[in-house]
Amino acid sequence: MAMHNFSTWDWETGKKLVVDTRKWKDMFDWIEEPYASPEGERIAVVVKTGDMEFSVCENDTLWESTFDKIWYLKFGSDNRLTALVSDMGAWTVAVDGVTWENTFDFVWNTKFGADGKNITVAAQKDMEYFAVTNDIPWETRFSDLSNLTVSHDGKRVAGVVPTVMIKQGDIFQFQEGCYSAVVDGKPWDATFVNLWGLAFSHDSEHVAAEARTSLYDYTIAVDGVLWDKVYTSVWMPQFSPANGSVTAPVRIAGKWTLAQDGKLFWNRSFDQLWHHMYSTDGKKIAAIVATKYGRWTIAVNGIPWSLTFGDLVTDAVFSPDGNRIACIGKEDGKWTIAVDGRAWGEKYDMVWQPVFSPDSRKVAAKVERNGHYTTVIDGKPLKKSYEALWNPVFSPDSKKILIKGIESDPDDGKYFRQVLPVTDITG
């Protein structure tokens, strides 16, 4: 989870015009989708400046450099803007317009540590694959690299690599095990038929992964060591922030439950159980579950909500104090937010991951209806709609909310940063 330094942001109540994005259409041949910085002071967009030349425009300022291609424009939690760029076919990372010194045949999948200071990408050069953090590539190279994962502080990097070359169609070699995890360029000693779903411990010292040990058996590997028990399937493991134990959803006899360090942990099973997560103190575990076929909900410490959805439950999040849960629910093609087992009354064409206030008492979300966007707090909408909108952010004291949006009529195309009292929305 991103770790923003909210206390340094401008929380003075008021509305600020950052830029009129309509000017961009007159300035450039074409523009792509804009991205707003976490604190809302900047908005950036990839633009075409000339014959097959591309750059990035931040507010009203164009980056000095131009490139053959630019993609994956992304702000880190420290408000730095990154992009993957190509100059004469050589790819690298640009940070606030300044490119890394190293270049590669291709780069992808930008990852940040929680505070945004460490930036990692997967890279390929001369048909070898590796990770690069803050312009420093791994010394060891591999014939492939997938499942790029960074530690919470962004200082350590893991992935999945082949340990032996597999000839096309060699199913026997595949079944013997050809893959391992690699951490900071060093592979585990053990090999597996497949690995997925890597996760770092909170102290960044350990790595767990979903492991396939045969065509039919799955389990969890921690630092290369397998759990004693195998299952018909598993989902992504997580480390407890309280004691460092490892939990994962596992499938036994056609049902799913939660296991801890290879032993059954929850005393109830479900038709499905996945996307489990811990409260900050590690005392509670929540997961998305199906209590019966086609009915989805949230279970906390193994106890499901009575509220269920027929289409989907996703983007669950704990409150900062660990006592509340919010998620997205979909029923009959319509979306809403559910908090602590109760759904908001209104339904929308789309909703985004809910956001808790720092005091855990309020929940806000970006929603879409009829092609326009607005912010809703505890089920009550901001009366204004936008043609583009970013996720709301509560102030550190939970009394204000930051709205970042490109307005529709009468201020079409104008990007505003606005800080409102929460009571302006909730009453």
Q: Omega of the bond prior to 392 within 30 degrees of 0, cis?
A: no
Residue 398 resides in a domain: no
pLDDT at 355: 98
Residue 312 resides in a domain: no
Residue 231 resides in a domain: yes
Residue-by-residue DSSP string for 160-218: EEESS---TT-HHHHHH--EEEEETTEE-S--BSEEEEEEE-TTSS-EEEEEE-SSS-E
> Which domain range does residue 239 map to?
142-262
pLDDT at 412: 86
Mean pLDDT of 22-34: 92
Tokens matching residue 128: 């070898």
Residue 173 resides in a domain: yes
Residue 41 resides in a domain: no
DSSP 68: S
pLDDT at 54: 96
pLDDT at 6: 84
pTM of the model: 0.93
Please classify residue 44 by burial: count the beta carbons closer than 10 Å to its beta carbon, then call 0-12 exposed, 13-18 middle and 19+ buried.
buried
Task: State the total domains in the chain.
Answer: 1
For residue 253, what is the domain's CATH number? 2.130.10.150
Residue 64 resides in a domain: no
pLDDT at 257: 98
pLDDT at 408: 86
Residue 280 resides in a domain: no
pLDDT at 171: 60
Residue 186 resides in a domain: yes
